[in-house]
Structure 1
């Protein structure tokens, strides 16, 4: 069959599919507005079906795989799309949901004559693949058709043609789904079993964030009877990044998943009982100036994020628990005594795994019920005696300690009473801050941990947790989130080579994986970078020199582009050089999104002002910014992580801007570029380049 005849046949099939989908949409009646519960549930099902059909109407499918089941089946064309659709009035599938078991063939099969297989609910199904075809469909028309495998034909170099075409497209201000181009190594992560903490080490541009989002959609499909979207949560590095990824899940037909930052979540958990110090103040402290390796290693953030500090907190909690049960008897009236041994028995046997403050409050209530029952049994009705008994009860239970999470945490740092093992300087700074009822970002993990131990989780436990940029998380943060699940079910992703928050993050994944028992952990590596051209990836790899933490360097997809440029700029004409570069790129018209990446926030403000004065419509990315708008932007390098742009200009890559400890910062900045990268430098180029 010729390409032209294949296209015509597929276009006819597409037209028929769209006609069927439109007819099904028209057949769905109006929303139910009444109070009948059964009708409400039926209406919700209809609404979910309508949403699936709306998704399918935009692009019914993106792939086809012709599969012949062994031993005696016939080749059958299977069309794969974002949502499964049956033909109107029939159980025959028009489109197979990409999350269905058989659809895994589309992602796992890479060619060859050997049998392929997939896991079905009834066991392994094997067979032969006869055709693997990719589509791009826009407004009811097939605009691209690529056969990546045809059985019996000699395999050429077309395997990645469709992928390279999609990678070569310009990007806007939102992350998009990759459901049509999921690669085999990504699909294995997406379809991994749910009952584990899955750790993903992924190089810049490997698609790890998108993979994690697709995994959420898969889990909701595969475990629909055990997992709920509203009991899932995504932790992202900042609100702007949340906005950037906000379109992926709706495109996959998934809603209601909570999306937040660790700071915002912890602040809500603490019921806003402290004022939160601006996180940008902490970032500014570390990124606006060069810090020594010793300062980083001994930072208060690294100390408070460690499991050693958690042990100090646990010791304080244990001391509190010891004091909950009184060691003296309670005597409400003469001749009536509640012995400590009985109170201890109540506490140890009746309250199980409840939280500490719940245990404390239940013990107080039990003591009150005991003395009121005893007074009733003894028929003591005298109001004066009962009043004195109540006063004695209040005085007795007042001595049973009671803490808020902030109060207990503050007691760790109080002057000469500060807990052993806390460096004096850290104790003094933290104590002073908490005395003003303020907390820094580094305090949120221990505060949240104490809150969970004292009061528990206010809502249901999470069915699944996604943690993005996890290399910037501390072990203490991950331990806090582990406590929010009954069974470990997490997707923890990041890149050690982008660990720019060294003052608080990790150096090795073992710092986080060790929190779980070995059977609960899965580990994957994504080393292929799909974002940038070969030239950009190879250039960025050289910045880091030898990889640390056992991480392999990024391997680029074979997509060549322009060479990476560098140019010296005189300090007096530096801003003008930035403007002229941006103007040239705009005139060439190749790029939808352009970013000028500066070293500091102050530097970015100067650049942004100059670009505005030069007539450009440019936006300045700041730490509190809720959204990224695309177009031309100026962004501090430490806020650029997770974003991507068609073209990137590093404003100053001079040796004064980037020292030896800034390799990961510069690496992050350079790997934001998809197609074009240029570095200006005032004075000599940083020695990080050319290692």
Structure 2
């Protein structure tokens, strides 16, 4: 199929069409690249006929299907059929794959003899369990062979549906969101190829970790970005205190900015006078003011309303001409709208505005800010548009103003991960990228680690421009954990009563409970190096060493002293993982996963945060990064919440 695609000539009839066709063929060939680590199919369903299921559609030389795309409607029974509802199947076959080679197969009978065990219960799949529990080496991989029924419901939801997925650690919410993007691009290719799909993650390290999933499924056009990159309207040169950043992130800032922008429009105190030929035409000030009031209440953007004003004024002049007996046409109206008199008048009462000038004035003067928000001004250096030092929160405000001036184009679908950590203003920035599209919102309220972390999904969806109570918006909860073993998730769940008492505790469905070691040591740094060396020696896969922010250099030195080559993840761009050991500051760990995890000094990780609840939430995040085993190394006493069960 790839060779056939590459053999086609990109003849589009002209240079532009030919270039577009050549790019289409190149993307098609890129999507058909072989993956040496896997096979073209991973399952088979036997009903009226045997159908092979794979990561993409594969046809033979005559065009007949050999493997069906996992996203096709006929593939759905592979994921949802059960003994109680076989969906027309008699048997489901799963294939074991190691290093691109088929190593095993397993049949699951859905009807007749063999469909239940000796107790009458449905038989469990050993291959499925082995695939779920396989060590994690390298970036996140796709889960097409192991998608569970409740996950498949989310993946295949209609494109017009906005889904919010509350998912405990290890429930696969990130993978589900990425596979939903792949399914939407398959099911609604024509629509979404024009409007686009975007994945928004918490940091660049996270995006590097998940970036291979969609290409492995044949989708190579989806853009991945962070919120900071999404609103990059200027160079990041300042850092706000958490208190000031929280104030700038509040939803009420949207009203402050809107009022500050529209305050540029001045009252009409003088009439418009337009010379034309030997006569002068006059539009009274009260009539102009009516136009201004009407344009302000239309709900259009500032620049669009400003662009309408010259035509409104010109139309009023034409009405005056007609009353005097003239018969002007549309060309006269256009000429009046472009005249120097009208341009000068519009410039005087409705000046142009830029996001930087408006925000600089607000931050320098406190215009429109409530009394408790004045800390924004007190802790901010004077801002001048040409030389302003913008912070991350400022860039979000600039994005808000940019949208108030000119509408932000909407995408067809946006996947937003770790949404619980975004401020209301950040959520608004993401939401306007899907103002005419839909969203898949992924997160966990228990993992909210910013001072402005959301208190409810209804609130977050409101800031995203969606209403949880409205048709087409749904909240789904995933509690079955496939990634984190039982011993680890049970240990971390001791924190839930303190950090998110309303959430259902997650439950691990893995047969292997995993390994949990809690080591009290005299020195946490040297103890961490020894524990890491032991994990690296005794267990396969990656070893993530998660440390309090600020401990990276010291722990790195200790790892080198015991002969462990390692890579440091700092939240920015990362290389291909050349080493099995990765050193991770606690604030970067969210969304990542490692086969073995060594958590260093839990009390210090929690103490870095501004309050106890946020600190314990940060700790909950780092404790749940392990796929197979967790070692907790501490010299200081553990937080009380972790010792509740002894």
What TM-score, normalized to structure 1? 0.80
Q: Do residues 597 (structure 1) and 520 (structure 2) align?
A: no
Whether 1:84 and 2:44 are equivalent positions in the alignment is no
| 3-state DSSP of counterpart to 2:434 | coil
* 1:143 to 2:115 alignment: no
Would you say the 8 A contact 2:256–2:368 is kept in 1?
A: no
Residue aligning to 1:527: 479
Which residue number in structure 2 is paired with residue 454 of structure 1? 405
Q: Does 1:103 pair with 2:52?
A: no
Is the 2:411–2:436 Cα contact (8 Å) retained in structure 1?
no
Q: Does 2:116 match 1:155?
A: yes
1:231 aligns with 2:196: yes
- Structure 2 distance, partners of 1:346, 1:657, is 57
> 355-364 or 345-354, which moves further after superposition?
345-354
Distance 1:108 1:615, change over 3 A: same
| 2:108 and 2:115 in contact (8 A); partners too | no
The structural deviation recorded for 1:319 is 3.6
User: Does the aligned pair in 2 maintain the 1:655–1:684 contact within 8 Å?
Assistant: no
SS at match of 1:212: helix
Partners of 1:547 and 1:115 lie apart in 2 by 41
For 1:288-299, what aligned pairs fall within 5 Å after superposition?
Answer: 299=243
> Cα 1:400–1:33, aligned 2, differ >3 Å: closer, same or farther?
closer
Cα distance in 1 for residues equivalent to 2:186 and 2:619: 40
The 1:106–1:421 alpha-carbon spacing in structure 2 relative to 1, beyond 3 Å, is: farther
The farther-off stretch of 326-335 and 503-512 is: 326-335
Question: Do structure 1's residue 316 and structure 2's residue 260 form an aligned pair?
Answer: yes
* Contact 2:32/2:218 (<8 A) preserved: no
Distance 1:49 1:505, change over 3 A: same
- Once residues 416 and 223 of structure 1 are traced to their aligned partners in structure 2, the CA distance between those partners, rounded to angstroms, is 47
1-structure distance, mates of 2:173, 2:605: 33
Paired residues for 1:454-533 under 5 Å:
454-457=405-408, 460-501=409-450, 503-514=451-462, 515-517=465-467, 518-533=470-485
1:664 pairs with one of 617, 627, 631: 617
Query: Could you list the per-position Cα deviations for residues 559-617 of structure 1 after superposition, in whole angstroms to 9, with x for gaps in the alignment?
Result: 3244411122223xx332222222222222x23211211112x2122111222243321
User: How far off is 1:34 after superposition?
Assistant: 5.2
Partner Cα distance (1:416, 1:481) in 2:
26
**1:386-425 correspondence runs (5 A):** 390=340, 394=344, 397-415=347-365, 417-420=367-370, 423-425=373-375
Deviation at 1:441, TM superposition (A): 2.0
Change (3 A) 1:486 1:562: closer
**5 Å matches for 1:546-565?**
548=500, 550-565=502-517
- Cα offset, 1:478, TM superposition: 2.3
Counterpart among 523, 526, 530 of residue 580 in structure 1: 530
Shift of 1:90: 4.8
1:674 aligns with 2:623: no
Which residue in 1 is equivalent to 2:331?
none
- The match for 1:168 among 118, 133, 137 is 133
8 Å CA contact 2:12, 2:21 repeated in 1:
no
Distance 1:656 1:235 in 2: 26
Q: Is the 8 A contact 2:586 2:605 kept in 1?
A: no
Between the aligned partners of 2:452 and 2:198, the Cα distance in structure 1 is 22
Q: Is the 8 A contact 2:86 2:110 kept in 1?
A: no
Q: What secondary structure sits across from 1:484 in the alignment?
A: helix
How many Å apart are 1:344 and its aligned residue?
5.4
Q: Could you tell me which of 423, 428, 443 is aligned with 2:378?
A: 428
User: Which residue of the other structure, out of 600, 605, 610, is the alignment partner of 2:558?
Assistant: 610
1:61-97 deviation per Cα after TM superposition (whole angstroms, max 9, x unaligned): 1111112xxxxxxx22121111122343254x22111
Separation in 2, partners of 1:185, 1:406: 46
Residue of 246, 252, 268 corresponding to 1:302: 246
Distance 1:48 1:480, change over 3 A: closer
TM-score (norm. length: structure 2) = 0.85
Segments of structure 1 that go 5 or more residues without pairing to the other structure are: 1-23, 68-74, 117-127, 287-298, 379-385
Instruction: Quote the RMSD (CA, aligned, Å).
Output: 3.4
Task: Measure, in 2, the Cα distance between the counterparts of 1:445 and 1:40.
Answer: 36
- Give the drift of 1:401: 3.1
Contact 2:260–2:362, Cα closer than 8 Å, also in 1: yes
What runs of 5+ residues in structure 2 fail to find an aligned partner? 328-335
1:473 to partner: Cα distance: 1.3
Cα gap change, 1:415/1:355 in structure 2, threshold over 3 Å: closer, same or farther? closer
Residue 623 to residue 83, structure 1, CA distance change in 2 (3 Å): closer
The separation in 2 between residues aligned to 1:151 and 1:247, in whole angstroms, is 37
- Seen in structure 2, the aligned counterparts of structure 1 residues 149 and 244 have a Cα distance that, compared at 3 Å, is same
CA gap 1:135/1:595 in 2 versus in 1, 3 angstroms: same
Cα distance in 1 between the residues matched to 2:257 and 2:220: 37
